[in-house]
């Protein structure tokens, strides 16, 4: 058995049961982005329900992932705690959340990298802002101080919340459909001659499109995007609610613009040359910091902005 513990401080949320009180929606209502969510769900609607913070103290080792800890909670303490997870090793992109206020994946974050001494744990308010020293509005942390005395075995506190920039649905589950809608709007599929091969007498009648390794290198890293939403939640423009199609959609668009097989680069550049497209990027580069696939999102954005402008 391990003899160390960690405290997970989880921002929980339970939606209020749905009421069928459709207010119609005013034609003058301001939507934060024309690329935002579909018409029936007003963009960035703040979900109604009960919010509270819950502390879980569990046994954990420094090298355990935060996902390991949450699964232990589900199995041994509280099966009602809700969070998305699937592959558990950083490939499926389902478990992006905010850890200590920073968007990242549960399954790649380890306790030793994220646990902080109880009294210095970063606090964020319900807008997702971190307060600077002395501005901490919460008193709940004080109840925790007893975990790091006596046995002296606490590795610290990790604070968890749903991915910023998206409406929370339950506990750590956020509605990322706005991001997926934005990806889809930019026609994210290879457009070439469209002819597919068939087999006759054991032989194919059409071959692959040729693409040499140098041409591949122009865009291959962009195809590694797993659409987890970490860059979107990190972007102050996107997560701040301004009109912006977001870094992920621009990365996907750039992926096709730079693919030598694609024939629609000009149209694709037109589609993102808008006020809420490339013009909305403020080059903050926060999007690069936690990309789980190691894409330098900020640099790639810089490149595609330059490419669009230089046409």
- The footprint of another protein (CB under 8 A) covers 1, 14-15, 17-18, 40, 61-63, 65, 71, 74-76, 78-80, 82, 84-89, 91-94, 108, 110, 169-171, 173, 176-177, 180, 184, 187-190, 192, 194-199, 202, 204, 206-213, 215-216, 219-220, 223-224, 226-227, 259, 261
State whether residue 51 is helix, strand or coil.
strand
Least Cβ distance, residue 129 to another protein (angstroms): 26
Closer CB to another protein, residue 91 or residue 279?
91
Closer CB to another protein, residue 291 or residue 305?
291
Q: How many CB atoms neighbour CB 278 within 10 A? A: 22
Quick one: tokens of 3? 């003899």
Instruction: State the Cα–Cα distance between residues 245 and 261, nearest whole angstrom.
Output: 25
Least Cβ distance, residue 130 to another protein (angstroms): 27
The residues, any chain, with a CB within 8 Å of residue 210's CB and separated by 6 or more, are none
Closer CB to another protein, residue 208 or residue 310?
208
User: What residue has token string 């355990």?
Assistant: 64
Closer CB to another protein, residue 31 or residue 74?
74
Least Cβ distance, residue 143 to another protein (angstroms): 23
Quick one: tokens of 214? 């140098």
Name the pairing type of β-strands 173-174 and 168-170. antiparallel
Half-sphere exposure of 30 (CA within 13 A, CB side): 4
Least Cβ distance, residue 253 to another protein (angstroms): 12
Least Cβ distance, residue 257 to another protein (angstroms): 13
Closer CB to another protein, residue 18 or residue 139?
18
**Is the CB of residue 62 less than 8 Å from the CB of residue 5?**
no
């Amino acid at each position: 058995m391990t003899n160390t513990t960690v405290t997970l401080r989880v921002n929980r949320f339970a939606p209020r049961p749905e009421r069928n009180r459709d207010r119609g929606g005013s034609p003058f209502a301001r939507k934060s982005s024309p690329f935002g969510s579909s018409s029936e769900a007003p963009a960035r609607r703040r979900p109604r329900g009960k919010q509270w913070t819950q502390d879980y103290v569990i046994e954990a080792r420094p090298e355990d992932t935060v996902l390991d800890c949450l699964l232990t909670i589900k199995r041994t303490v509280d099966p009602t705690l809700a969070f998305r997870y699937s592959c558990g090793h950083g490939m499926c992109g389902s478990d992006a959340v905010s850890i200590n206020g920073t968007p990242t994946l549960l399954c790649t974050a380890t306790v030793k990298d994220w646990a902080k001494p109880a009294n210095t744990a970063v606090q964020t308010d319900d807008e997702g802002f971190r307060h600077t020293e002395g501005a901490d509005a919460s008193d709940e942390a004080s109840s925790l101080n007893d975990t790091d005395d006596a046995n002296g075995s606490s590795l610290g506190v990790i604070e968890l919340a749903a991915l910023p920039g998206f409406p929370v649905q339950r506990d750590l589950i956020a509605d990322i459909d706005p991001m997926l809608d934005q990806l889809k709007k930019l026609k994210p599929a290879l457009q070439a001659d469209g002819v597919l091969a068939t087999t006759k007498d054991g032989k194919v009648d059409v071959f692959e499109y040729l693409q040499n390794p140098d041409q591949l290198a122009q865009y291959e890293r962009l195809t590694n995007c797993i659409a987890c939403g970490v860059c979107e939640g990190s972007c102050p423009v996107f997560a701040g609610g301004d009109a912006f199609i977001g870094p992920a959609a621009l990365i996907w668009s750039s992926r096709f613009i730079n693919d030598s097989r694609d024939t629609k680069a000009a149209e694709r550049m037109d589609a993102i040359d808008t006020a809420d497209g490339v013009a909305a990027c403020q080059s903050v580069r926060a999007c690069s910091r936690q990309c789980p696939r190691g894409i330098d999102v900020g640099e790639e954005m810089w490149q595609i902005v330059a490419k669009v402008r230089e046409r």
